[in-house]
Amino acid sequence: MTILIRDIKRIGTGDATRTSIRERKVEAETISIGRRKGSDIQIDALSIQLDHAEISVPSEGDALLRLHGNATALADGRVVTNGKSVIKPGTILRLGPVQITVENNTVDETITLAVESVETRTEAISRDDEDAVFATRSVLPSKRIISWMSALIVLGFFLALPILADRSPAHPIVKASPVQADVSWNSGELSLLHSNLKNDCASCHVNAFEAVTDDTCLSCHTDLERHAEPLDLKKAERPVEGFNAFLTKTSEAFGRPADRCSSCHIEHNASSHIIKSSDAICSDCHAELDKRLPNTDIMNVSDFGTDHPEFRPYVIVAPALAQPLTQRISLDLIPKGNSGLKFPHDLHMADNNAVAKMANTLPGRYGFDDGVTCDDCHSEEAGGALFEPVRMEQDCAMCHSLTFEIEADGYERTLRHGEPDEVIASMRDFYDAKALANIRDTATDSRTRRRPGAAAEIRNSNRRELAFKRSEEVTIGKVDAIFSEGGACYDCHEIERPVDIRTMDFKVLPISVADSFYRRSPFNHEVHEIEGVECSSCHAAETSASSSDILLPKIAVCRDCHIGQASWKAGGDIAAGKYPTNCLTCHGFHDGPHYKPQDGNP
Amino acid sequence: MAQAKHSSFLTYRGGRWAKFALVFSVICIGLYFAFDFEPVRNGGSWYGYTLGTIGALLILWLAWLGVRKRRYNPGNWSLKAWTSAHVYLGLSLLVIGTLHTGLQFGWNVHTLAYALMVLVILSGMFGVYFYITVPRRMSDNRAEASQVEMLDELENVSRLLRETSLSLQDADTQRILDMLAKTTLKSGVMTRLRDSHVRCPNARALKDFKVAVRTIEGDVQRGMFDVISVLERRDSLLGRIRRHQRYRALLELWLWIHIPATITLIALLIVHIIAVFYYQ
Amino acid sequence: MVKQSDIKFDVAIIGSGPAGLSAAGRAAELGMSHVLLEKTDHLSDTIFCYQKGKHIMATPDALVLRSEFEFEAGSREDILDRWNSKAESINVSLNAEVIEIKGKKENFIIKTKAGDTIEARHVILGIGTQGNPNTMRCPGGDKAHIQYSLDDPDAYFDEDIIVIGAGDAGIENALGLIRRPELENRVIIMNRRAEFSRAKDANVKALMSAAADGRMTIMTESETQEVYDKQADVSTKDGIRTVAADRIIARLGSAPPRKFIESCGVEFASTDRLAYPTLSPKFETSVPGLYVIGALAGYPLIKHCMNQGYDVIENINGNTDLKPADEPLLIHLFRALPNPEAVSEWLEFLRTKIKIFNGLTPLQMREFMLDSKVHVFDPKKMVFRRNDVGDSLFCIAEGAVAVRIDPNDLSKTITIPEGEIFGEAGLISGRRRNASIFAETRSILVEVPRNAARKLLATVPAVQASVDRTATERLLLAILGQGLQKEDLSEIMETATLETIQANEYLIEEDAEDADVFIIRVGSMVVEKEVAGNNVFLAYVPAGAYVGEMAMLEDGRRTASVKAAVKSEVIRLKGEAFKTLLAAKPKLRASVIEKFADRRALNSYIEANKDSFGGVADMFTARANFLMKQGLGEATDALLIDEKLCIGCDNCEVACAESHDGISRLNREAGTTFDHLHVPTSCRHCEHPHCMSDCPPNAIRRAPDGEVFIDDSCIGCGNCERYCPYGVIQMARPAPSKPSLFSWIAMGAGPGPGQPPKAWIKKKAKGKAPSGPKQAVKCDMCKGITGGAACVRACPTGAAIRVSPEEFLDASRSKVR
């Protein structure tokens, strides 16, 4: 049997197809097909078994295909597995990549197997994959896309949204936003006092690209004092020159004019103080104030430690009920005050005198265990910064009793403090009442009970008259006593005696006790409660014999601990008991000249 | 005596830009402490604005490298000089930016911009590190072979493997077919960074065949030895390709942080500046 | 068609190339009886054999075309179509290979291979320079499946093909046939010898690698014995084998047409291979009535050839006053001279005044002048300066020039008088000018560019000899200096011989006992010393220096070996004569000893440290040898990449492409590496560029700064690509323009900077065929771009540098020491 095997190769498509055909004859009944070398039809493909199949052509009838082992093939598209199958002429067999067409040769009635590889194998990876294999960009999204996405997200969330929220707060997108849109713009925590505004940027930042205006600040801070007359303020300032002028111009160019509230009050620094504390803020004007404001009575100052005048407390030179006369006098001049009160501190604070002894008789109840000390009379205010005004009833009365008569049953008759007319009236009432009581006692006596009639009435009337007369005398005497040396009032008060004592027109002169010597720099006692610092460290009360002494420490005393900014920078050390001190340590900018001391109690 | 011709961007002109950046940073730090800035040192002071302006312009200039390096002509300029300046001035930005913040941080765009800037600089530092360390290893690994040559060689060896494997037993050819189908090089970026070669199907097939070859003899064994030698050749080639992939990933990957972060940083700078002036 | 043998033609034109066609066209137009004989079955075989679609240029643009045939730049098909249709008006005889021309003017008898005889009054030869390919001589050598050329290697499929021939043509054909493996051609290359010594290295390497991969078979020491229809018997070392052969491509070289032309009685200018027939200004050979035109007359450009065909017919027809078509070009050339219109007078003036031109025919004068420039220099004006780059030859037609012989003393000059030449040193060595020259009086100078000058030297042997002598003399004077005069050298000049040394051949062997001194005229040398069995690289010696003086001075043995880094030319001076010269000139002796103290110091250093030399020196030597092997021995400027710094960003390639029409002239990754020093595939700007050796339009030139570049007149023939041993030239057309950089950066428009991928170019072309020809492109060192080479400028890490080899080897050596 002759079988013609026709090996066909083809390349290209369409018109460009090129074909190569080689034919060979095999004289055999069976054609072996497989990967094995020497097979009649050798198929070089790994998917083909060594002995894949055979085609046998019997002398009569159709050819038979036999597959070995697990081999499979397709016959006209149908799967053929092991066993024999008949293949008719025209059948197209498919084994792996190869197609075998079975043809009957009509001339010599042999058969032809046309073998053609129909599947061109390509390697999984070729040089065309250079980028896919080696370039990192082939396995990652493009940097361009990532950049755009991320930049647009940032611009959307952090720029567009906040602006939209500012421009139209009612916009649905703004409403839908779970967090407040402009919260991301907050450059830092607000200071404690403003923290209620933290979710309301627009309360301060009213207009876009406009720096916070003074009007905005003043809309809440309505009761601020002016530091000075605006015109003076302007005049007083040292001309801005050089680099600072450049800075000012630059910030003006950026819409941030100088001399606004927010020039000094810088927000969004959280715990940092909201107020600029550099001395320069003050010394810009105050260092050479006299040059620019010749008429001012404010003295030049530039540094607490080195260039600050002696303190000039407001000293009351003439007490008055309504408006005591005060005068600023430098402590250098050893000013004398006039409060209208007599109070020798030394007497009260001495260790061993009548006062001390008397105090010793009153232990426990008033805390005089260790003699009379400052806090027995001076009690701190709630904040501790200043002291409560000294009150007679509270702070003096434990020793200075206003008792003017002790009744038989021990009841102490006391006088009202602070109202001389009332004092006189109540004493007169007391003694009149006492006189009347004596008359009543006589009338009920049987010896004097005579027959009723005019004579008795006259007699009674005379006795009453007499009694009142006597009581008047007693009263005058008693009143004169309390308003005279040794009397309860006289000890502490200046008394104006009447020309005619019988008129009992005693007057207590008005008392004015300063509740603040320093109007621009209220002193804070509490912060000075430090180990080793006693009242007497600053106040020379123990040696003061007169209430006209101004018991304020001079600046030198302060400077023992407080050093100016210049010295602080040169080497201040808190551990060594030196504290940095700037203008704002004592002064407040807004504690202006319109500050009035409260008309308080004596 | 002629001087050595090749010099790295890090030592360009004796480290001119390194010196410049160092001096500049020291001056900035000095000024930072030299002045009083009330009430706090931060971007709001005049110095803060100055540093901010310098920093923002510097960021734009540094980012401009991406454009500059691609405008090849005309030019009396050297990209090496630009790279050198980019690296060192970029590092000095860390100083400028930090001083600008005054160490005041919060949950806001301003700090976000700073964080992003730090991210960009850090990624750049990684880049420089890889630029210094990887090239020599990459050169050793590729040993004159270009990428295309490696792939061509792989194609050749794979073809050779198919041809050599034709004489194997049926089960073994199937193994080779499966292995060829599973070998991949178009792997993801993490795979590239890891040494993934140990899990390579080729390596496993090689191991198995080396065991199997001892149990057979004759022509079949000789055939398998042939296949094993091709598998070994393919194994070392795949190893080389994977190492090259890894080196390229190391050299390029940092840019996927550096570039997008830079662009985002510029967007954030715009936000930062607008925000500062919008609510000033 | 007229039956040729019946009548006597006015003119018979042999060869239907552009020259022949044009001649025939004019003859037809003038009504002359004529016949055009073509050996193949089609017209214009050379152009016919170009590859499909090849674009043909029409240079020089300035030259007017005189021809009945149209010719303008276009594709091969267009041009051939037009010519073929025009050819219908002329009398053509195809398949008429002329084997003999006898007789003289008015009575020429031409015999063809087919046995026809043709009579003609005049004969015009326009057969070109290609000649006939050598044919197979074994039995069956005339079978139809044997071919002598290969137009389209992709035309064959599933064939057994034998390529016979060991030259580049054969190897390139064989490689072309296996280029597409899917075509399944089984290729055997057959070589009579054991080695492929005639072919370029790159080709041989590619061939060996293809054979190693099993993609083709090499049969060496084999020859076909007999050819049958589908197979051939081949004799091998092991006896006769029968090899399947569907096709045999025989590339056995070709016999140049010279032999045939000489057999017609025509004289040639010289015996040199490059020489052309001696022709009158009217293209008439030494045989009256026999004319030679076209490439064979020395004019390779189509336009020239067509004009010649026209002119020759006009001349034969009696129009003897016709000025050649290039007359306006010459007038332009002489524009600096008074009365430039007097072209022939000026040509005669130059020819008689300049010694080396004396032997030229007026026609040759014309041709050389077309390539040359004429300058008029005022006194004191510099012609060129020392260290300028230049390889053109200057001839003094009138006046005189002065040479500054001592760069340190500008007042020392010598005069070169009228009629002499100068600039020959640069021409010969390919290196920078070694002296400054200025005009002494008002001078008329002719500047002949390198290629034309070399052709001139080749054409006139006497000129070659005289130039060689002058060059040697001047080289000696320049190197030795010390106020030597020409006369002092007369004795030593007698001993001077010119020798050519092949690459890697030893000029001096260590320990040999000769004492000759060698001056390197062309190429460069490597000095080596054997240390502990290894050759240690000592120095690189470029052209223009001398070696071998140490042994001569010290009467000793050679202390080191000197071998050629590239193919070089040296002047050998007898040691004895040199010694006599030194003895007579103590000053010279001192200067020689002093000048080379360095070399001696290095020598003794190595001698002293012989034993402690370790890996460093070996490494250095290995690296130096590697660089030499990479062609740096003949480089003037090469790109070197330090792979310790290279991050593989390919920005160098991108920069290159962006600087050059979107095509990168450099392949960073390709090329070889040694010790992390990488020599990428990029032009080395050789001293004697291989690419220049056969450029038909002379489009490859050396620019003033030394860069070798290809100008726009490139016709895309691809010769240079083939000649370059380093594979740095490619054929390409400019890439289409891309969207702006910013639209790419921002939106990703276009392929981005660098050479665009082919797919993008194709897409951009939208199915239209590419316009314009592929032209040769190569590195031009970014000529004309401020800032210099873009590849170096664009390297972000400092990995890429451009160096000349001396610098680099010096630098390397300094590290070792």
Residue C254 in this model has a pLDDT that exceeds 80: no
Is the CB of residue B42 less than 8 Å away from at least one CB of chain A?
yes
Same-domain pairing of C706 and C801? yes
The whole-number average pLDDT for the span C752-769 is 86
Is the CB of residue C651 less than 8 Å away from at least one CB of chain B?
yes
Q: Is there a domain that residue C424 lies in?
A: yes
The whole-number average pLDDT for the span C554-563 is 80
* Chains in contact with A, where contact requires at least 3 CB pairs less than 8 Å apart: B, C
Residue A165 in this model has a pLDDT that exceeds 50: yes
Report chain B residues whose CB lies below 8 A from the CB of A134.
147, 244-245, 248
Q: How many domains does chain B have?
A: 2
Q: Is there a domain that residue B1 lies in?
A: no
Mean of the per-residue pLDDT values of chain B: 91
Cα distance between residue C578 and residue C546, in whole Å: 12
Residue C491 in this model has a pLDDT that exceeds 90: no
Same-domain pairing of C567 and C667? no
Contact B97, B117 (CB under 8 A): yes
What digits encode the pLDDT tens for the residues B139-190?
Answer: 999 888 899 999 999 988 998 999 899 989 999 999 999 999 888 888 888 8
Residues 6+ apart with CB under 8 A from C150: C173, C176, C177, C249
Q: Higher pLDDT residue, A277 or A176?
A: A176
The whole-number average pLDDT for the span C770-779 is 82
**According to the model, what pLDDT value does residue B110 have?**
94
Q: Find the residue in A nearest to C246 (Cα).
A: A20
| Window B:2-61, CB contacts with C under 8 Å | 2-9, 12
**According to the model, what pLDDT value does residue A442 have?**
61
Is the CB of residue A35 less than 8 Å away from at least one CB of chain B?
yes
Q: Higher pLDDT residue, C228 or C202?
A: C228
Q: Report, in angstroms and rounded to the nearest whole number, the Rg of chain C calculated over CA atoms.
A: 29
Report chain C residues whose CB lies below 8 A from the CB of A11.
157-158, 182-184
Residues 6+ apart with CB under 8 A from A324: A316, A318, A510, A512
Is the CB of residue B241 less than 8 Å away from at least one CB of chain A?
yes
Q: Is there a domain that residue B38 lies in?
A: yes
Q: Which two tokens stand for residue B188?
A: 């993801």
Residue C616 in this model has a pLDDT that exceeds 70: no
What digits encode the pLDDT tens for the residues C290-334?
Answer: 999 988 887 777 888 899 999 999 999 988 888 888 888 888 889
Is C288 strand, coil or helix? Answer: coil
Of A238-252, C140-154, C454-468, C639-653, where does the model show the most confidence? C639-653
> Nearest CA of chain B to the CA of A289: how many Å?
23
Query: From edge to edge, which strands make up the β-sheet containing C217-219?
Result: C146-147, C247-250, C160-164, C186-190, C217-219
Cα distance between residue A130 and residue A127, in whole Å: 5
Same-domain pairing of B197 and B63? no
What digits encode the pLDDT tens for the residues C98-143?
Answer: 988 988 888 999 998 888 889 999 999 998 877 778 888 888 888 8
What digits encode the pLDDT tens for the residues A518-551?
Answer: 877 878 888 888 888 888 888 988 889 888 899 9
Interface test with B, best of C797, C808, C809, C813 (most B CBs within 10 A): C797
Q: Tell me the DSSP string of C732-757.
A: E-PPPP---HHHHHHH--SS-SSSPP
Q: Is there a domain that residue B202 lies in?
A: yes
CB contact under 8 A, A144 and C748: yes
CATH number of residue C389's parent domain: 2.60.120.10
Of B146-160, B261-275, C488-502, where does the model show the most confidence? B261-275
CB contact under 8 A, C673 and B136: no
Report chain C residues whose CB lies below 8 A from the CB of A9.
157-158, 184
CB contact under 8 A, A278 and B163: no
**According to the model, what pLDDT value does residue C298 have?**
75
Boundaries of domain holding B102? 14-142+254-278
Q: Which two tokens stand for residue A37?
A: 């070398």
Cα distance between residue A164 and residue C262, in whole Å: 96
| β partners of residue C242 | C233
Contact A184, A163 (CB under 8 A): no
Same-domain pairing of C516 and C413? no
| β partners of residue A95 | A98
Cα distance between residue C601 and residue A201, in whole Å: 83
What are chain A's domains?
Answer: 2-117 (2.60.200.20), 384-508 (no CATH)
Q: Is there a domain that residue B192 lies in?
A: yes
Is the CB of residue B166 less than 8 Å away from at least one CB of chain A?
yes
CB contact under 8 A, B79 and C651: yes
Mean of the per-residue pLDDT values of chain A: 83
**According to the model, what pLDDT value does residue A593 have?**
53
CB nearest B83 (choices: C670, C796, C807) = C796
Residue A364 in this model has a pLDDT that exceeds 70: no
Interface test with B, best of A47, A185, A262, A303 (most B CBs within 10 A): A185
Same-domain pairing of B157 and B126? no
Is A509 strand, coil or helix? Answer: coil
CB nearest A20 (choices: C158, C182, C748) = C158
Is the CB of residue A205 less than 8 Å away from at least one CB of chain B?
yes
CB nearest C811 (choices: B4, B67, B75) = B4
CB nearest C673 (choices: B1, B78, B139) = B139
Same-domain pairing of C780 and C642? yes
Cα distance between residue C191 and residue C718, in whole Å: 25
Q: Which amino acid is at A77?
A: G
Q: Is there a domain that residue B7 lies in?
A: no
Same-domain pairing of B121 and B226? no
Report chain B residues whose CB lies below 8 A from the CB of C795.
79-80
Q: Pick from C67, A31, A132, C352: which is nearest to B248 by CA?
A: A132
Q: Where are the alpha helices (DSSP H) in A8-142?
A: 130-134
Q: Which amino acid is at B74?
A: P
Between the alpha carbon of residue C56 and those of residues A579, C47, C74, C80, C300, the distances in Å are: 96, 9, 5, 11, 13
Report chain A residues whose CB lies below 8 A from the CB of B158.
123-124
CB contact under 8 A, B189 and A140: yes
Q: Higher pLDDT residue, C762 or A83?
A: C762
Q: Is there a domain that residue B266 lies in?
A: yes
* Residue where a domain terminates, one of C561, C590, C612: C612
**According to the model, what pLDDT value does residue C764 have?**
86
**According to the model, what pLDDT value does residue C130 have?**
76
Contact A489, A404 (CB under 8 A): no
Cα distance between residue C783 and residue C778, in whole Å: 11
Residue B20 in this model has a pLDDT that exceeds 90: yes
Same-domain pairing of B198 and B65? no
What digits encode the pLDDT tens for the residues C694-735?
Answer: 787 778 888 777 788 998 878 787 888 878 888 899 998 888
The whole-number average pLDDT for the span C427-438 is 79
Contact C266, C287 (CB under 8 A): yes
Cα distance between residue C543 and residue C63, in whole Å: 39
H helix and E strand count, chain A? 19, 20
**According to the model, what pLDDT value does residue C592 have?**
79
Same-domain pairing of B18 and B135? yes
CB contact under 8 A, B76 and C807: no
**According to the model, what pLDDT value does residue B112 have?**
95
Is the CB of residue B252 less than 8 Å away from at least one CB of chain A?
yes
Same-domain pairing of B85 and B21? yes
Same-domain pairing of B203 and B270? no
Q: Tell me the DSSP string of C156-173.
A: --S-EEEEE-SSHHHHHH
Is the CB of residue C159 less than 8 Å away from at least one CB of chain A?
yes
Q: Which two tokens stand for residue A558?
A: 């302060």
Same-domain pairing of B154 and B203? yes
Cα distance between residue A515 and residue A509, in whole Å: 19
CB nearest C158 (choices: A9, A120, A142) = A9
Same-domain pairing of B78 and B115? yes
**According to the model, what pLDDT value does residue A453 have?**
61
DSSP state of B103: T
Is C110 strand, coil or helix? Answer: strand
In this prediction, residue C482 has a pLDDT band, given cuts at 50, 70 and 90, of: low
CB contact under 8 A, C787 and B77: yes
H-helix or E-strand containing A73? strand A73-75
Is A17 strand, coil or helix? Answer: coil
* Residue where a domain terminates, one of C579, C612, C645: C612
CB contact under 8 A, C797 and B8: yes
How many CB atoms are located within 10 Å of the residue C607 CB? 11
Same-domain pairing of C507 and C601? yes
Same-domain pairing of B167 and B81? no
Is B207 strand, coil or helix? Answer: helix
Same-domain pairing of C378 and C279? no
Three-state secondary structure of C493-521: HHHCEEEEECCCCEEECCCCCCCCEEEEE
In this prediction, residue B1 has a pLDDT band, given cuts at 50, 70 and 90, of: very low
> Nearest CA of chain B to the CA of C630: how many Å?
13
Q: Which amino acid is at C44?
A: S
Same-domain pairing of C318 and C379? no
Q: Which two tokens stand for residue C225?
A: 């014995």
> Nearest CA of chain A to the CA of C162: how many Å?
18
Residue C812 in this model has a pLDDT that exceeds 50: no
Residues 6+ apart with CB under 8 A from C633: C503, C523, C524, C526, C540, C565, C566, C627, C805
| B82-86, C66-70, C447-451, range with the lowest pLDDT | C447-451
Same-domain pairing of C496 and C549? yes
CB nearest B278 (choices: A46, A140, A209) = A209
For chain A, percent of residues with pLDDT exceeding 90 = 12
CB pairs under 8 A between B and C: 122
Same-domain pairing of C250 and C260? no
**According to the model, what pLDDT value does residue A449 have?**
53
Contact C57, C715 (CB under 8 A): yes
Same-domain pairing of C193 and C153? yes
Residue A475 in this model has a pLDDT that exceeds 60: yes
Same-domain pairing of B36 and B109? yes
CB contact under 8 A, A155 and B180: no
**According to the model, what pLDDT value does residue C3 have?**
45
> Nearest CA of chain C to the CA of B121: how many Å?
18
Q: Is there a domain that residue B226 lies in?
A: yes
Between the alpha carbon of residue C716 and those of residues A279, C9, C732, the distances in Å are: 84, 38, 9
| A139-153, A307-321, A354-368, C167-181, range with the lowest pLDDT | A354-368
CB contact under 8 A, B73 and C644: no
Mean of the per-residue pLDDT values of chain C: 83
Cα distance between residue C402 and residue C393, in whole Å: 15
CB nearest A134 (choices: B107, B248, B277) = B248
Residues 6+ apart with CB under 8 A from B186: A125, A129, A132, A133, A138, A139
Same-domain pairing of C673 and C778? yes
> Nearest CA of chain B to the CA of C616: how many Å?
16
CATH number of residue C264's parent domain: 3.50.50.60
The whole-number average pLDDT for the span C736-746 is 90
Contact C82, C73 (CB under 8 A): no
Q: Decide: residue C19, CB within 10 A, 0-12 exposed, 13-18 middle, 19+ buried.
A: buried
Cα distance between residue A377 and residue A398, in whole Å: 10
> Nearest CA of chain B to the CA of C88: how many Å?
52
Q: Is there a domain that residue B166 lies in?
A: yes
The whole-number average pLDDT for the span C637-653 is 91
Same-domain pairing of B106 and B209? no
Boundaries of domain holding C332? 328-459
CA atoms within 13 A on the CB side of C43: 26
Is C6 strand, coil or helix? Answer: helix
The whole-number average pLDDT for the span A477-496 is 86
Same-domain pairing of C279 and C204? no
* Chains in contact with C, where contact requires at least 3 CB pairs less than 8 Å apart: A, B
| C232-241, C586-595, C654-663, range with the lowest pLDDT | C586-595
> Nearest CA of chain A to the CA of C647: how many Å?
13
Q: Is there a domain that residue C57 lies in?
A: yes
Q: How many domains does chain C have?
A: 5
> Nearest CA of chain B to the CA of C749: how many Å?
15
